Structure 1
Amino acid sequence: MRVFLCEKPSQARDIAKVLGAGQKSDGCLQGNGTVVTWGFGHLLEQAPPESYDPALKRWALETLPILPQSWKLEIKKDGRKQFGVIRKLLREATEVVVATDADREGETIAREILDYCGYRGQVTRLWLSALDDASIRKALADIRPGDSTYPLYLAGLGRSRADWLVGMNLTRAYTVIARQQGHDGVLSVGRVQTPTLRLVVDRDREIANFVPKPFWEVVGLFQAQGGVFKAKWKPRDESLLDEAGRCISETAARALVQRASGGQGRITQIETARKKEAPPLAMDLATLQQEGSRRFGYGAQQVLDIAQTLYETHKATTYPRTDCRYLPVSMLDEAEVVVTALLQSDPELASLRDRLDLTRKSRIWNDSKITAHHGIIPTTSRCDLSRMSEPDRNLYDLIRRHYLAQFLPPHEYDQTDVVVKLEGQDFVANGRQVRVDGWRELFSNGKDCDEGDAGGNKEDDGAQALPVLAQGEVCGVSSLDVLTKQTTPPKPFTEGTLIAAMKNVARFEQDEKLKALLRETAGIGTEATRAGIIDTLLKRGFLQRKGRALVSTPTGQQLIGALPTLLTAPGMTALWEQSLDEIAERRLSLEEFMDRQAILIGKLVQHAAGVPMTLPQQPTQKCPECGSPMRKRKGEKGPFWGCTRYPDCKGIVNIVQRRGRQKGSGTRGK
């Protein structure tokens, strides 16, 4: 019996429909000698420390580090019934087709079930890029050997186990140490979440400590024969400039204005060059999250949920959890089918069809840039826009515009750079004249496409429509003004810009060797996990939203201040991800990776035990038995103060809630 193992029920229904397995059974679909079953994401989870040793249920420094020699998984309580269905099917299966999401976590979800159940039969892999019927049929015709994707499972195990080691050991270590100081609550530490929190804390501190500095600009209005244009002073004396090239001498600026007002300048340099902007690449998940945040104020998790809906429910777009923005060359042959489906879905696009050149091969078609998945694009199937919510349509529109842009000409403009010499000083101006709209006709203005993507070019802030100018032309000074300005602090993170920072973490690293290494990694977390990491930090009270901004809370700031750099440095976590990629690429063994983690965790626990923490003081009591700090706890009869040295000392102070008074003290067993 051939069993298809899917990640979720909706995925199973789509695959079963194409396979003709329409007979419903308990936890599966059957037909034509095939069974399609499913999980609900992970049906298994890492076992807690007490499953290895009951004594580990108690949090204590002397029990750390906890380093399992033989790892255990447990069936999630809400997944036991479905797990039983899968286990029974595996006993009868002659072949299992792994049909979970085509990524590291998808591979892990399926393989951990097979291992837990002791399945030893044939395993193959259905690698899906979209869930429309045509994509499923295409993937079914090209089922891969199971061995080809097995390393993704090993990388998934490495990720899961490394997260467990950090979370269990270091959360316990720092929470116990904090409680010894009378600090209540759990100090959660995570391999990925803690460095992400550090990014926000550092940004908030930079903003809080920012001291604005003045600088001055001299802007002139020049009268040429063809018309008026604006030019800005560009000092050549470096003693007048800061590191960003801004004039920091008000005296020099005002002296120039006094000296040159009413004078005449001469154009000493004029250069015009035709420039072309290639269309923006297809969306990957991170870019979609950034644009969703910037344009619509959507949260990272919200964008991921919408992208999943477009993929799973509407069958309108391809697999969303991708880190790639390119497309394989072979998919250029499908352009006609994709565009036809887009036109059938939205007749308003009909006017665009005659201007599309579906043979145009833009930079997006590049096999060497393809990773596990290609960029997010529309599918070859027609979709029903009326069934989409407004957020669905907003993101779908972004995705389809970025696809259609590939078949329009490059955007072309003439860039003119001018230098005017006035009183021995250079004044510069630049202008832009659009010659071919090209792909930009799909976007209302340059800022509607993702920032900095249009062939690496950005609009120049000082660009203007210049009049006709000539080399050597004399231009009178109509006005000359000094503008007083101030430097501004960096902007707080939004969910979109934090996603970008997590992905491009190299720019936050000071060590040049580490920075070079980080440029080769995918940054902190993965496309599939970054939104969840931000959501976790929000739920745990380490971050909070202020409008569209994300800011750290006092608790988050205090936690980062208490932890060693090794735990908070974004660069270290990015290197972790690099090692997981090496496992997936068969360049590093899981055993070697875990040996490294065990050594590192031991050192971190040792460091935690030996370094005092500075935490905010909370209302507390002194133990009536030993004088140690106490912390508030909950018992069967209500809250009470308990000694932080418990169980060595069992001193308590009862809390009477009726009038908010404390009454009595003594000891009691527990």
Structure 2
Amino acid sequence: MRLFIAEKPSMGMEIAKVLSNKNNKSLERSDGFISVGNDVVTWQFGHILELKSASELDPQYEKWSFDTLPIIPQNWQRKIKDDCVKQFNVIKKLIENTDEIIHAGDPDREGELLIRETLIHLNNTKPVKRILLNALDEKSILYALDNLKDDSVFDNLYISAEARTRADWLIGINLTRAYTLIGKDNGLTTSINIGRVMTPTFSLVVQRENEIRQFNATKYYSLTAIFKSNKDEIQTKLKVPDEIKENDYVIDKTLIEDIENKLKKNPLAIISDYTVEKKTEYPLLPYSLSELQLVAGKKYNYEPKLVLDTVQSLYEKKLTTYPRSDCSYLPENQFDNATEILNTLSNIDDNFKTLIQEANPKLKSKAWNDKKITAHHAIIPTAKQCDINNLSETEKNIYKLISTCYIAQFYPAHIYNKTDIKINCNDYIFTATGKTILDLGWKKLYKANHNDEENILPICHKDDKVIFINSNITEGITKPPKRFTPATLLEAMKKIDKFVKAPEVKAILKNVSGIGTEATRASIIEKLLDKNFIAKDKQNLIPTKYGESIYKILPHFLKTPDITAIWENELSKIAEGTGDVQKFLGGQIKIINEAIKQTKTLKLDIDMPKCPYCHSILRPVISKKTNLKYWICKNFSTAEDSKCKKGIFSDKDDKPVLIHCNKCRKGYMKKNISKDNKIFWGCDNYPKCKNIMSDKNGLPNNSTNTKRKKLFK
């Protein structure tokens, strides 16, 4: 008996259907698995195991304390997730009765880990093979079934995934505890999450906001000039001499005016350089997940997580290939599928039909390149017929983006002539660039106006004489850098080398596919929003005051992407068999020790509200009985020796209600409920002050002044 263990139920179902058709055997459904002749297909729900928490490894870690940090497990252990126990037992029983296991996790690092960890947990000794599924259509599954590999081929991929898991545990557990302990000393009741990828990503948002705040707009000037060559006019722009620049701009208008006056006094000029160069732009490569998220974010304002969820849905409907791909290339053996896929896409709508009629399925773009393939290939449509009307609006848009990029692979290159002219007048250089399209090519799929050409320049020759006829001085203002959006932050995570200044580090990072993975980047951004490190201002991401307070106390090496990206580089080396796992984890332990050492001396300067009675910090607390939020003073206690006996306040819009009593001017108004369940506000200086007010939208109503005794009959 062969046992297939799929990553998720939907994948298991598709494998079972194909096995049924291939072997002409009926499906027999059972609780947690499907039998197909001599094959059995079962499934996981992603990871059904998780690393044990620190307190589960040792009870001494139950209490969070600097005394127990750092926590470095000597014996790493996993446990079954509570909601996966039943399915785990199904898999366990099936393994006992099988002869061979087919590992059907997704074809990437995480997919390798989540099935492998289950087999290791069960002490499996049965032979294991690997099926690599980049798509769930029948043709792709049949091809994968005929090309099974020994799972041992992917040992290094598993080791790198396990190293990544342990690294994240070490960083997350130790530094989250350390910074949470600082927060607790400053009145915070929530944990301060620190993550190997999450923290430098959050830091990018803070750093960008600081750049915007420190930015000073500068007024600058530029000069355009028109020269005449025979009957033709050439519109040019001054190449600003370095000697009149200040921070790359001309900020003194008189300097530009002097040049303009010289042109008017001596208008004779000469073409010092004239070149016409034929340029070729090849089709955009098919999408990786991050490129698709970026394009969809810019075109439709879609959040990265929405794009991932949507392309996952299309994948499960067998309309597109594996979604969590970090690759933009296609295997050469799939080129023969082009005609079938294009025929399928021609039925989407009339526009696609027209575009495909002009496509050439025999034209092979640079996308087909086996040497560039990683664990998976680019996201493309499958040959399954799509009823576009049955898709949601988001699914339609994403499917069409993927399909259009695939069709572009069968269009010719975009070819144009690029013309560059340099004109010398009074020893000043003026430049002009023009573009004449020779073949629109694949850009026909993306341009609304297929005939537009940019600044067509006349035919000239070097050393031709021209004459200045007109000019214009324009005024501009420098603009601050743009805030990140979810899409551009995701792009920054992938192209993290752009945010590094050190040349030696930048060189390393150019070979790394950023921080995080195609599958996790979107969820990291969501977590930063959920944990209140950052917030949304329309489509823009901005740091919260809470987030900026945390950022101030983070050590430099946690804020920068350098170390995190280098770690990802090390994981890639481990996956290739050239890296050292112990060296990798040892380096992280060293960093953790250094971070904890620094953390013990830090103080969190967070803008928390203060108690009006003792001036200590007020912390938000959720009532277990009512599930309502209120604010309590750090020093509050009902004990006789309490430093603060009145420090409890109601909440309004995530802020404590601190309103002085308008009668005694000594107490503060507190929300209460009368015997007949009416909300009222009373002075906490009772019985010395018996002032009460009715409630109006969660605040005391100053227009009322009810007698207290009426409420206590």
TM score, norm. by length of structure 2: 0.84
Higher relative contact order (CA 8 A, sep 6+): 1
Partner Cα separation in structure 1 for residue 162 and residue 66 of structure 2: 26
2:288 corresponds to: 284
* Cα deviation code 1:545-564 (max 9, x no counterpart): 22222222112222111111
| Alignment match, 2:456 | 465
Q: How many Å apart are 1:616 and its aligned residue?
A: 2.9
- Give the gaps of 5 or more residues in structure 2: 21-25, 650-670, 673-680, 687-713
Q: CA deviation at 1:345?
A: 4.7
Structure 2 match to 1:25: 30
Q: 2:203 aligns with which of 184, 195, 198?
A: 198
In structure 2, distance between residues paired with 1:641 and 1:336: 71
What is the Cα deviation at residue 367 of structure 1? 2.2
**Distance change (3 Å), C-alpha of 1:412 and 1:26:** same
Counterpart among 398, 411, 431 of residue 428 in structure 1: 431
Structure-2 change in CA distance of 1:294 and 1:503 (3 Å) = same
331 and 213 in structure 1: CA distance in 2 versus 1, 3 angstrom threshold: same
The residue type paired with residue 277 of structure 1 is E
CA contact (8 A) 1:179 1:631 kept: no
2:702 alignment counterpart:
none
CA deviations 1:579-614 (Å, max 9, x no partner) are 222222222344443333333322221221134443
Give me the CA root mean square deviation: 2.8
- Counterpart residue number, 2:359: 356
Whole-Å separation in 2 of the counterparts to 1:15 and 1:446: 45
1:311 equivalent in alignment to 2:315:
yes
Change over 3 Å in CA distance of 1:644–1:121 after alignment to 2: farther
Given the alignment of the two structures, is residue 405 of structure 1 paired with residue 408 of structure 2, yes or no? yes
- Specify the SS of the correspondent of 1:325: coil
CA distance in 2, matches of 1:312, 1:560: 40
1:545 aligns with one of 536, 540, 547: 536
Segment drifting more, 132-141 vs 332-341: 332-341
Matched to 1:280, the amino acid is: L
Paired residue secondary structure (1:211): coil
Q: Which amino acid aligns with 1:256?
A: I
Displacement of 1:533: 0.6
Q: How far does the alpha carbon of each residue in 1:210-269 deviate from its partner, in whole angstroms, 9 at most, with x for none?
A: 011222111113333343331111133x2112454x434322101122232373433332
| 8 Å contact kept, 2:293–2:487 | yes
Residue 152 of structure 1, aligned match among 146, 157, 160: 157
Query: Residue 255 of structure 2 aligns to a residue in which SS?
Result: helix
What is the rounded CA distance, in whole Å, between the counterparts of 1:373 and 1:636 in structure 2? 48
Measure how far apart 1:184 and its partner are: 4.0
Structure 2 counterparts to residues 227-266 of structure 1, below 5 A:
227-236=232-241, 238-242=242-246, 244=248, 246-261=249-264, 263-266=267-270
- Counterpart in 2 of 1:321? 324
Give the secondary structure class of the aligned counterpart of 2:360.
Answer: coil
**Do the aligned partners of 1:620 and 1:631 also contact (CA within 8 Å) in 2?**
no
Contact 1:326 1:365 (C-alpha < 8 Å) held by counterparts:
yes
After superposition, the C-alpha distances for 1:164-217 in whole angstroms (9 at most, x for unaligned) are: 111111111111112213344321111110000011111111011101122211
Partner of 1:369: 372
Count how many residue pairs are aligned between Structure 1 and Structure 2.
642
| Worse-matched range after superposition: 324-333 or 496-505 | 324-333
Distance 1:419 1:559, change over 3 A: same
1:63 to 1:641, Cα distance in 2 relative to 1, 3 A: farther
Q: Distance in 1 between matches of 2:182 and 2:107?
A: 42
Q: Write out aligned runs for 1:480-495 (5 A).
A: 480-495=471-486
Q: Which amino acid aligns with 1:373?
A: H
Give runs of aligned pairs for residues 76-115 of structure 1, distance below 5 A. Answer: 76-115=81-120
Letter in 2 for 1:5: I
Alpha-carbon distance, 1:163 to partner: 1.3
**Would the aligned equivalents of 1:182 and 1:618 in 2 still touch at CA under 8 Å?**
no
Distance 1:350 1:633, change over 3 A: closer
2: CA distance, partners of 1:515 / 1:191: 19
Q: Structure 1 660/207 Cα, relative in aligned 2: closer, same or farther at 3 Å?
A: farther
Alpha-carbon shift at residue 344 of structure 1 (Å): 4.4
2:508 aligns to what SS in structure 1? helix
| Structure-2 change in CA distance of 1:306 and 1:139 (3 Å) | same
| Residues in 1 aligned to 2:402 and 2:147: alpha-carbon distance in whole angstroms | 27
Alpha-carbon distance between aligned partners in 2 of 1:403 and 1:663, rounded to the nearest angstrom: 73
Distance in 1 (alpha carbons) for counterparts of 2:611 and 2:276: 72
Question: Are 2:521 and 1:518 equivalent residues in the alignment?
Answer: no
What are the Cα deviations for residues 459-496 of structure 1, in whole angstroms up to 9, with x where unaligned?
Answer: 99xx5122344544444434211112122111111122
| Cα distance in 1, alignment partners of residues 118 and 611 from structure 2 | 47
- Equivalent residue number for residue 585 of structure 1: 576
Distance in 1 between residues matched to 2:519 and 2:552, nearest whole Å: 29
Secondary structure of the 1:357 match is coil
Structure 2 residue 588 is the aligned partner of structure 1 residue 597? yes
Tell me the equivalent position of 2:54: 49
Alpha-carbon separation, structure 2, partners of 1:592 and 1:378: 42
Of 408, 415, 420, 2:418 maps to 415
Q: Which residue of structure 2 lines up, in the alignment, with residue 134 of structure 1?
A: 139
Equivalent residue for 1:393, pick from 396, 399, 418: 396
Whole-Å separation in 1 of the counterparts to 2:391 and 2:14: 19
Secondary structure of 1:578 counterpart: helix
Q: Supply the AA of the counterpart residue of 1:560.
A: Y
- Give identity over the alignment, percent: 35
User: What does the per-residue CA deviation read over 1:380-419, in whole Å, with 9 as the maximum and x for residues that have no partner?
Assistant: 3332222222221222222222222222211111111112
Structure 1 Cα separation of the partners of residues 84 and 597 of structure 2 = 38
Shift of 1:629: 6.7
Secondary structure, counterpart of 1:464 in structure 2: coil
Correspondence for 2:8: 8
Q: Comparing 34-43 with 197-206, which one deviates more in the overlay? A: 34-43
Counterpart Cα distance in 2 of 1:500 and 1:242: 32
Q: What is residue 174 of structure 2 aligned with on the other side?
A: 169
Which amino acid in structure 1 is aligned with residue 600 of structure 2? Answer: A
Q: Which residue of 2 aligns with 1:607?
A: 598
Q: After alignment, is 507-516 or 432-441 more displaced?
A: 507-516
Provide the TM-score with structure 1 as the length reference: 0.89
> What is aligned with 1:454?
none
1:564-643 mapped onto 2 (5 Å cutoff):
564-620=555-611, 640-642=632-634
The code of the aligned residue for 1:272 comes to V
Query: Which amino acid in the other structure matches residue 445 of structure 2?
Result: L
The 2-side partners of 1:506 and 1:235 are apart by: 30
CA contact (8 A) 1:289 1:496 kept: yes
Structure 1: which amino acid aligns with 2:478?
T
Residue from 275, 280, 300 that aligns with 1:271: 275
- Offset at residue 420 of structure 1 (A): 2.1
Instruction: Provide the secondary structure at the position in 1 that maps to 2:346.
Output: helix
- Look up the SS of the partner of 1:265 in the other structure: strand
Q: Alpha-carbon deviation of 1:329?
A: 2.5
Q: Distance in 1 between matches of 2:529 and 2:522?
A: 11
Counterpart CA distance in 1 for 2:172 and 2:642 is: 28
Q: Select the structure of larger CA radius of gyration.
A: 2
Q: Which blocks of at least 5 consecutive residues in structure 1 are unaligned?
A: 448-458, 665-670
Deviation at 1:661, TM superposition (A): 6.9
Residues in 2 aligned to 1:617 and 1:91: alpha-carbon distance in whole angstroms: 58
Measured after TM superposition, the shift of residue 321 of structure 1 is 1.1
Cα deviation 1:49-101 (Å, max 9, x = unaligned):
21122232222211211111111222222222222222222222222211121
1:563 equivalent in alignment to 2:554: yes
